[in-house]
Structure 1
Amino acid sequence: MSWLWFALASAVMAALVSIFGKIGLHQVDPNTATTIRAVIMMLFLMGVLAVQGKLSQIGDVLVNKKAMLFIILSGVAGALSWLFYFVAIQKGEVAKVAPIDKLSVVLAVGFALLFLGERLSFWGGVGVAFIAVGVLITALAA
């Protein structure tokens, strides 16, 4: 399967996170809900590794100091993102919060250019600019 199919599946699942999260956060502390969500994700992903026969690879990752540093940083950034997002959708409308959250696309591309040395075509840059403008329009219309 192509990376594109996985990216589209990720977008669909992320959209469902917003909807299910908004419904689940009704009269519930967002930090507690995020913690429960993280535990569920861990259990689910451990099941995925078990089905794939890859549980033994956990030790290999744990001893790789560079990999672990960046996995830990990614985990902390992800946890903070979830906490902020769940508070935002609890207090605001998903239709307003989700587009602003997608500034992460613009930021991720910028960080990839700056820190990973990735390149962006002219049209790729135009697309990222459109995302930024779309977020701005959505935020101002709110």
Structure 2
Amino acid sequence: MASSTGWFHWALLSAAFAALTAIFAKIGLEGVNSDLAALVRTAVIIVVLSVFVVLTGKWSNPLALSPRTWIFLVLSGLATGASWVCYFRALKIGDASKVAPVDKLSLLLVAMFAVIFLGERPNLREWAGIALVGAGVLLLGFKR
């Protein structure tokens, strides 16, 4: 696999695991407060990632990271936490088949934010694909 397309395989795996996340979370939320469930999920993630980083030999001193890196990783963590709290609350009261597609509106926001903040310039074909996904999200998410 060429390095220029390697990201795609990881992104497909991410999508598969994200789909399982919604299903497992919906089942696990029965009779449980959604915020507590998100906390348990986060604790599991911390343990799994810690073991993974150590076992793969990728551990390094996080205090050696630059202040800029810290700021943006903390902001990313805060955004992730807020996203998970909202996602779990939505899953608690809504159908997974409706919540997950609406959550994927993040694709449109990522594209717009990448243009505004990162200077990325998707081409016409990429914008068309993003628009089609957005239309599909709206169609699925707001079905009656």
Q: TM-score, normalised by structure 2?
A: 0.93
RMSD between aligned residues: 1.1
Percent identity, aligned pairs only?
39
CA contact (8 A) 2:34 2:92 kept: yes
The equivalent residue for 1:89 is 91
1:24 to 16, 28, 47: 28
- 1:52 matched to 2:56: yes
2:129 to 127, 130, 139: 127
CA drift at 1:119: 0.9
Structure 1 stretches of 4+ with a deviation exceeding 6 A read none
Alpha-carbon deviations, 1:13-65, whole Å to 9, x = none?
A: 0000000000000010010110111111011111011111222242322xx10
- 1:66 matched to 2:68: yes
The equivalent residue for 2:41 is 37
The CA distance in 1 between the partners of 2:8 and 2:137, in whole Å, is 23
Aligned AA (1:135): V
The CA distance in 1 between the partners of 2:133 and 2:9, in whole Å, is 20
The CA distance in 1 between the partners of 2:89 and 2:19, in whole Å, is 16
The CA distance in 1 between the partners of 2:86 and 2:11, in whole Å, is 23
The CA distance in 1 between the partners of 2:19 and 2:43, in whole Å, is 20
- 1:108 matched to 2:110: yes
State how many pairs are aligned.
Answer: 140
Question: Residue 70 of structure 1: SS of its match in structure 2?
Answer: helix
Task: Structure 1 unaligned segments of length 5 or more: list them.
Answer: none
